[in-house]
Amino acid sequence: MWSFIDEYLNYIKVGVCVLVGCAVFYSGFHIGNGRYLEYKASVEATAKAQEAQVESIQKQHELVTKGIQDEYEAKLAAVHNYYRTASVWNKPSSSSVPAFPMPPSSLMLSPPTMNLLDSALKPRSN
């Protein structure tokens, strides 16, 4: 009976080595898979926290944008209202420029100077 074991001893050693190798591989896989699942859970938790933060920032951004837009529209309406009511063009009682302005009296020429100018401007007859 022991002769049968002696003949197949090498096969038995190889089988035991294969079984030990499979056990080591499975234990390594199980440990690595556990670490991977822990990592995956931590990444999911971090992603959810980041998504919540991004959503909060987006809501704040929308509020700020809406506030700026409302303020801009209010100021623009105020400017339009100011120019609609306070414009010089809308007031008929505002001063106007005469159609033919008269020069100031200091620039008015005296009659002798005007005669001199008239004689200088007349064409000469030869």
What does the pLDDT look like over 8-20, one tens digit per residue?
A: 888 888 899 999 9
Residue 12 and residue 5 in contact, taking contact as beta carbons nearer than 8 Å: yes
Q: Output the average pLDDT for the chain.
A: 80
Residue 109 and residue 117 in contact, taking contact as beta carbons nearer than 8 Å: yes
Q: Which own/partner pairs from 27-30 qualify as long-range (CB within 8 Å, at least 24 positions apart)?
A: none
Residue 19, both tokens: 């079984």
Phi/psi for 93 (5° steps) reads -85, 5
| Residues 63, 38: Cα–Cα separation, whole Å | 38
Least confident of 3-12, 28-37, 50-59, 69-78: 3-12
Query: Which amino acid does the sequence have at 44?
Result: E
| Residues 89, 86: Cα–Cα separation, whole Å | 9
Least confident of 18-22, 74-78, 80-84: 80-84
Task: Give kind and range of the element (H or E) at residue 125.
Answer: none
Residue 22 and residue 15 in contact, taking contact as beta carbons nearer than 8 Å: no
pLDDT-derived band at 6 (thresholds 50, 70, 90) equals confident
Please report, for residues 26, 110, 122, the alpha-carbon distance to residue 125 in angstroms, rounded to integers and kept in the order given.
Answer: 131, 27, 9
Please report, for residues 27, 28, 44, 45, 46, the alpha-carbon distance to residue 41 in angstroms, rounded to integers and kept in the order given.
Answer: 21, 20, 5, 6, 9
Integer distance in angstroms from the first to the last C-alpha of the chain? 164
